[in-house]
Amino acid sequence: MARRGNGNGHEQYGRTGSGRAPETPGSPASGDRRPDLAHWQARLDALCAEHHVPGASLAFLGDGTVHELATGVLHRGTGVETTTDSVFQMGSIAKVYTATLIMRLAAAGELDLDAPVVDVLPEFSVADPEATRAITTRRLLSHTSGLTCDFTHDSGRGDDCLARYVDAARGVALDCPPGSAISYSSVGYNVLGRIVEVVTGKVWDRALKDLLLTPLGLTHTVTLPEEALRFRAAMGHLGEPGRDPEPAPEWDMMPRSAGPYGRVIASAGDLARFARMHLAGGVAEDGTRILPEAAVALMRQRVVDCPDRWTVSSDGWGLGWTLYDWNGVQGYGHDGASIGQYGYLRVVPSAGVAVALLTNGGGAREVYAALCRELLAELAGVAVPEPFAPPATPPAVDLAPLVGTYRREGVVITVTERDGAGHAVYEFVDGMRDFSAPLRIDLLPVTETVFAGTGVGEAFSEDYMPVVFSTLPDGTGCVYIGMRCAPKVA
């Protein structure tokens, strides 16, 4: 069994912490036995090899300790080995860091979650003035603002990049009316990042360091590419499913303004330590109070149910956190992706358990699905549902009401029926038009409104992408793909 170095000349299965997370009497994490690290190292090695993942780092909080493992290489072109102190791009997991910053400001009385955003950012607006006043910080946190996701705008490398981004987004169409439905929004989290800047008087990157990273002692967490170069940094890899991927053409394609929604770069161990603070009721390992316990609890209270319960395994959303109900056991977490890099965080508060997995390409979703299922079962007694898939005998479905064109900012989805079977073309338009060639998806019925989409790619959806049809409160039909709401326009 391979051992992995920690980058400091020592050979070990994983660097460990020393502080204990809160324990529930009689829970699987109550310290009665130490995890078998050799077993989990072997599973990590085997799963990454099976699913063509070049490198991965795994950290999990069990028995009150953060355990860290690593496997493979950071870059298939150079062969540099993955170690437990290697850093990965975590994509949208950054949103939970921004949400935590916002909650810290709200707890300090510096921000009202229910006041209109324009009270803090007078320059903020959407096309509809009434909708502009209806968008609050709380709605931004829970993805119920109606703001869209895929508005990509490079506002430069300067410290004013978020201010310029928010200004550029003023004319972007809403996915749905504020408060009417959930629609996953990166734009909303950039607005939150700008709120942090205005309230603190610091750029988002500096506020994150001063208010979260430094007090938590997260020495392997950064936000800018030039900072990541201080560490062993993972390179993303791209390729066809079922084959060894190749290094991506660029390490990072996101502009600096993507930080609040998509660029926190960290080791898996640091991600687990961030989760441990939330498990500890807002207290860092050294006893420093980061958040009041009430604010921590509020973040994981359900605000909205999710029509799409499969893309990120979500039953609902809180203030920043994705929420899970595993057969009665409550959990929370978040997923993230950047160019060829995929991250996953799952937390079980009743057991004091957190699992963080960071990868750099290949069938990352399948590695996560197997590894997280096994770890949560052993450490927390959680039975994670089986992967999303169509039934052996699909139901007969009337596709006629679903056929049509659906649109949101950056994306047009055309649903058709041929010979009794459903099909969809997912096309990138507007500022996203060069992101990818159109995706052609076969729709396999699961229920009358839920379909298993094929041909999307195993890194995103194991075997099938959920395609979920729903209806907005005003009666408008919509379709969810990737947790984004696209209203029917024709």
Closest CA to 421 of 447, 400, 449: 400
Which helix or strand (DSSP H or E) is residue 354 part of? Answer: strand 353-359
Handedness of CA 232, 236, 241, 244 (dihedral sign): negative
What sections of 159-203 are H helices per DSSP? Answer: 161-168, 186-200
The one-character DSSP state at 262 is H
148 and 408 Cβ atoms separated by less than 8 Å:
yes
Q: How far apart are CA 370 and CA 49, in angstroms?
A: 13
Distance set, CA 86 to CA 55, 56, 92, 153, 203 (Å) = 10, 9, 19, 29, 26
Active site residues: 92
395 and 113 Cβ atoms separated by less than 8 Å:
no
What sections of 209-331 are H helices per DSSP? Answer: 214-216, 225-228, 259-262, 268-279, 293-299
Strand partners, 444: 452
Q: How far apart are CA 462 and CA 385, in angstroms?
A: 13
Q: How far apart are CA 486 and CA 478, in angstroms?
A: 5
How many CA atoms are closer than 13 Å to the CA of 87, on its beta-carbon side?
24
What lies within 8 Å, CB to CB, of 49 at 6+ separation is: none
Closest CA to 94 of 188, 232, 198, 29: 188
Closest CA to 82 of 213, 228, 326, 268: 268
What lies within 8 Å, CB to CB, of 33 at 6+ separation is: 63
Q: Which residue type occupies 173?
A: A
